[in-house]
Amino acid sequence: NAGVMQNPRHLVRRRGQEARLRCSPMKGHSHVYWYRQLPEEGLKFMVYLQKENIIDESGMPKERFSAEFPKEGPSILRIQQVVRGDSAAYFCASSPTTRQGNEKLFFGSGTQLSVL
Amino acid sequence: DQQVKQNSPSLSVQEGRISILNCDYTNSMFDYFLWYKKYPAEGPTFLISISSIKDKNEDGRFTVFLNKSAKHLSLHIVPSQPGDSAVYFCAASATRGGSNYKLTFGKGTLLTVNP
C-alpha cells in the first residue's frame, strides 16, 4: 500500500549543476502534480502531467525547469544550472483522475533541494 | 499577490480546548476549499474539505465553516490534542473552468497543542 514515493529526500547541488527529482505516484494513479514550497511560503503549483503528456505547466519557470512522466517509470522534475533561489521543498502529488469535487491529492514526503 | 491568506503564522492552545484556524481568499472563482495538515519532513495530508454550496462540513473533531460573502473560512478542532500539533494549510480551487486540478495554498499556520 505504498503512497506517493519521492526520491531523493534530500539533494544538495552546487550552483550550475543539474538536479533531478523523481516521483512515483500511488498505484493506479495516472495524474501527477508537482508543487514547490519556498521558505516561509505555501505550496505553489508548478506542473500537471499525465502519462507522456504535459497538461499544464503554467507554474513552471520558463527556463531551466522541465518535467516528464514517461509511459514507464517515475515522473521526473529536472532543474538545469541550479541557482540558490531554487532551494526549496519540491512536493509531488498524484490522483486517480483529474481532481474534481471530492477528489483529493495524495502528496509525497517531498525532496528538499539545497543549492550551495 | 496572495489569493489565499492565513494571517496567523502560529497558534498555541491547551489540550482539550478549541483550536480555530482562519483563512481568507480573494479570488471569487474559488468554489472548493480544503485543509491539509503537515508534519515536519512529511508531505501534506488531506484533512477536510468544503464546497461553496455548503457553509459547514464536519468530520469528527474537525469542522470547517465557510462564509462566502466574507470570503473567509475557518477550521475548528475540538477538543484539541497534542497530536494535532502540525502546520495547517488552507487551499482553494476553482472547479468550474479548465484548471480545477490546481490548488492555491496559503502560507500555513503552525498549531501547537500543549499538554
Q: What pLDDT score does A101 carry?
A: 47
Who among B43, B46, B49 is closest to A109 (CB)? B43
Residue A19: pLDDT band with limits 50, 70, 90: very high
B98, pLDDT greater than 80: no
What's the confidence (pLDDT) of residue B99?
72
B44 contact residues in A (CB cutoff 8 A): 43, 91, 107
How far apart CA B105 and CA A43 sit, in angstroms, is: 6
Please check the confidence at residue A6 and state whether its pLDDT lies above 90: yes
**Rounded-to-integer distance, Cα A40 and Cα A60, Å:** 19
Shortest Cα distance from A61 to chain B (angstroms)? 16
What mean pLDDT is reported for chain A?
Answer: 91
Identify the contact set of chain A against chain B, taking CB-CB distances under 8 A: 4, 6, 9, 31, 33, 35, 40-45, 48, 55-56, 58-59, 91, 93, 95, 98-102, 104-110
Per-residue pLDDT, A103: 60
- E strand intervals along chain A: 5-7, 10-13, 19-24, 31-37, 43-50, 53-56, 65-68, 75-79, 88-95, 106-107, 111-115
Query: Are the C-beta atoms of residues A42 and A91 closer than 8 Å to each other?
Result: no
* Residue of chain B nearest A105, judged by CA positions: B46
Cβ neighbourhood burial of A9 (10 Å; 0-12, 13-18, 19+): exposed
